Structure 1
Amino acid sequence: MVLKSASTSSALLFCKLFLDFCLLPVPKGGRPEVVGIVRLDAIGDFVVWLPAAQALVAHQRVKQKQVVLIVNQLWAPWAESLLQVDQVVAVDVNLFAKGLRYRVSMLQRIRRLQLGSIIVPAYSRIPGDGNDAIAFASGARTRIANKGYRSKNRLAGWLRTLLNIGYSQVVATDEIWSSGNSPKSELEINASFVKALGISQNGLLGKLPISQPHGIYDLQMPEEPYVVMIPGGSWSGKAWPLERFVELARQLNAHGFEVVVSGSEGERAICDELASACSGRNIAGRTSLQTLAEVIGGARLVIGNDSAGIHIAVAAGVDSVCVMWGGSFGRFIPYKKEILPRGLEARAVYRHMDCFGCTGPCPYPTVSGKVKCIDAVPVSEVWATVHDVLGKK
């Protein structure tokens, strides 16, 4: 069964790559006044990209261009609201990756947009992920892409080099930004990309507009200070064990804080379990992203795994504590202190290992489905950090 699954995945990847390469000679043209911007990654990536996206869109406006966003459907409505573009094309990323019929249909739709230029700013540009296919299918005369990270996978690196032939400009962000010996953060990488295009960005850190929380009233939020806990994430293997979130939540209760539990629709069950254990309120799957930002904006603290909620908290100016694993360590989390506004706490609790910063499969056996580095983080260390942050204000 495993061999059959691996064989099917390999065949699908081959088909996608074959399609991408077939799109390279698509005739170029389009309307010069229409610019497309492609971004297919997750919600947290969008929040971190937001300040660069705002600068990119504003620059196109000054040039009197029409802007079309081609983005992940999970955050497409929020992006349309925050960036005020002319059109948004929402892509079901899972279907685009696994369904060839949907992929071809979407590429035909992109072609009909008649884009004059297209921009692919994602640093994590993986062959076959859809960014290149959309750029080539658009038929845009000008195609600009982020060169991306240096892949440890030689085949992936070689394929991306070949795909780069299809772009009129490839931006090597690694060669533009210098931040000493520390790893470049995604915020710095995003700023490097727009800088290479001659665009000025107003600061590295985005700021979400948190108005009077009109979307919160139906949720019956607590009047007392509350803490938002987000026990899920894009991959359960990097999520701190649920029973430790429960223990932490009960300590918060003992110190007078109500707990609001958030997550996606698919995480409602674990959020229910956590909320029930601490007499908290479960809003998982019940909010738009803007309403979630408003809930977080009214919180005293946000506690979660390496996930979008932590990035939303930082952008909303709310203190946060992230229970962190070692994957891509330093690229997104922990946030560099020099980037954060004065007084804002964005702490990360972790047990450092020699393999931190990994981008591939964990070399160690999992513990109850969790990677070794996340399972090693005890409640006592997280509570000590939470207690310290709460005591500062």
Structure 2
Amino acid sequence: MDIKNRNLFRISRFILLKLPKFFRFLSRFRPTRKHLLFIKTDAIGDYILFRNFIEITKRSEKYKDYRIDILGHPIWRDVVSSYDKEFLNAAYFTNPRGLYEAPLTAFKLALRLFLNNYEVVLQPAYTRIFATDGLAALTAAKHIIGYQSDHEGIEPRHKSKTDAFYTQMLLLPAEVYFEFHRNRFFFESVLNERIAINVPSITTGINSKKGIAILPGAGAFKRGWEREKFLQLIKLIKQHTTQPIYLIGGPAEVAAGDYLMENLADGSVENFINKTSLPQLIEKIAGSALLIANETGAIHIAVATQTPSVCILGGGHFERFAPYPNDVAFGPVCIYEKLPCYYCNWDCIFNTAPTDPFPCISGISLEKVWAKVLPLLPHNSN
């Protein structure tokens, strides 16, 4: 946790860890209502692996009569508006880590949630952080349900306090490791019903697929394949197909995109990086015949839109987000160099230069990626 202003952090910590007890007292004087809140404030890929369970909860026998809200991350606000608003009454958005040094913002959000009189709060993220634990508690809901969790996202000294905020904590079976399966286990446990789906899905209305989409970033720079290798990969692709090539991504991919455009012949690729909304990015992936990317939300979007994909994969969260289980249709073809230190939660044991990716990424050769890409290249356009 990178805290710059310790005084602001202390105030926020007081609000998130101490104030819930006072809000719980105040809740005795308000009526109980059939209101449910999802707390899901992590990245785009996490949301794609979660969002189908919003509809399932809304249609469930247990909560079909409830008003359902969500507290989410602003980076995927437009996805909620485009695909999920019919199942939600209201949506609130915050970057929870930003609340650690923004006590007034944290208090205003907590008060807003408290006044909504939630009966049930569901936080299905296995990797908990104390900001969202605190917000869940500040709702003073009758039922607050989450995972027992580990310490990847929360320090033991904070978790020992926030565990007490939950009225029910689910213990995740060791064999339930893949993230989508974790979500399914959570909602099967909460809803007390069997859920048949085993893959995320997004209905875009796009039926034809053409071109090759390439996302040359990874959110966190050190988790991404080198841009020089992406450049050579694109040159190889251009030698074997006349299908259009699209560069896609957001602000984090701008530098890599600029590098590729500067080193490719004019007209070689179309650059859509940081030029599309997130729903437009989803449509671009849905309309592509192939996606090539690092382990990012784009890979999960490809699966959800039934677009073939190639994932250049490191070891930090190996098998939690990728590779997909063998029984999943349209799972990505993953390329990786497995090291003994895999499953490290990106707490890398190697000392690397700030400009270099982690060794589990840099060790993946161009030749190995090309061997997987070549058989998947779409037929040439007319």
Is this contact kept in 2: 1:51–1:202, CA < 8 A?
A: no
For residue 350 of structure 1, the aligned residue among 336, 347, 366 is 336
Q: CA deviation at 1:14?
A: 5.2
1:125 maps onto 2:128 in alignment: yes
Instruction: Give the corresponding residue for 1:18.
Output: 14
1:207 maps onto 2:201 in alignment: yes
1:47 is paired with a residue whose SS is: helix
Quick one: structure 1 residues 391 and 77, their matched pair in 2 at CA, closer, same or farther if it must change by over 3 Å? closer
1:295 maps onto 2:295 in alignment: no
Quick one: structure 1 residues 244 and 9, their matched pair in 2 at CA, closer, same or farther if it must change by over 3 Å? farther
- For 2:225 and 2:83, the matched residues in 1 are separated by 31
1:73 maps onto 2:62 in alignment: no
Quick one: structure 1 residues 98 and 325, their matched pair in 2 at CA, closer, same or farther if it must change by over 3 Å? farther
Counterparts of 1:375-386 in structure 2, within 5 Å, are 375-386=362-373
1:145 maps onto 2:146 in alignment: yes
- Matching residue's letter, 2:161: L
Q: CA deviation at 1:97?
A: 3.9
- For 1:57 and 1:201, the matched residues in 2 are separated by 13
Is this contact kept in 1: 2:210–2:289, CA < 8 A?
A: yes
- TM-score by length of structure 2 reads 0.87
- For 1:35 and 1:141, the matched residues in 2 are separated by 10
Is this contact kept in 1: 2:71–2:93, CA < 8 A?
A: yes
Instruction: Give the corresponding residue for 1:40.
Output: 41
- Matching residue's letter, 2:286: G
Instruction: Give the corresponding residue for 1:220.
Output: none
Q: CA deviation at 1:326?
A: 0.9
- Matching residue's letter, 2:275: R
* Residues 249-305 of structure 1 deviation map (CA, whole Å, 9 limit, x = unaligned): 111111123210111134323223224444211112222222211111111111111
- For 1:187 and 1:171, the matched residues in 2 are separated by 16
Is this contact kept in 1: 2:211–2:378, CA < 8 A?
A: no
1:317 maps onto 2:306 in alignment: yes
Instruction: Give the corresponding residue for 1:244.
Output: 229
- For 2:152 and 2:95, the matched residues in 1 are separated by 28
Instruction: Give the corresponding residue for 2:247.
Output: 261
Identity %: 21
For residue 325 of structure 2, the aligned residue among 327, 336, 344 is 336
Number of equivalenced pairs? 367
Quick one: structure 1 residues 92 and 159, their matched pair in 2 at CA, closer, same or farther if it must change by over 3 Å? closer
- For 1:88 and 1:286, the matched residues in 2 are separated by 25
* Residues 44-63 of structure 1 deviation map (CA, whole Å, 9 limit, x = unaligned): 10011123333223327853
Structure 2 gaps of 5+ residues are: none
Structure 1 gaps of 5+ residues are: 214-222
- Matching residue's letter, 1:40: T
Quick one: structure 1 residues 350 and 111, their matched pair in 2 at CA, closer, same or farther if it must change by over 3 Å? same
1:363 maps onto 2:364 in alignment: no
Is this contact kept in 2: 1:52–1:201, CA < 8 A?
A: no
Quick one: structure 1 residues 212 and 51, their matched pair in 2 at CA, closer, same or farther if it must change by over 3 Å? closer
- TM-score by length of structure 1 reads 0.85
- For 1:212 and 1:6, the matched residues in 2 are separated by 42
RMSD: 2.7
- For 2:239 and 2:279, the matched residues in 1 are separated by 30
For residue 188 of structure 1, the aligned residue among 152, 175, 181 is 181
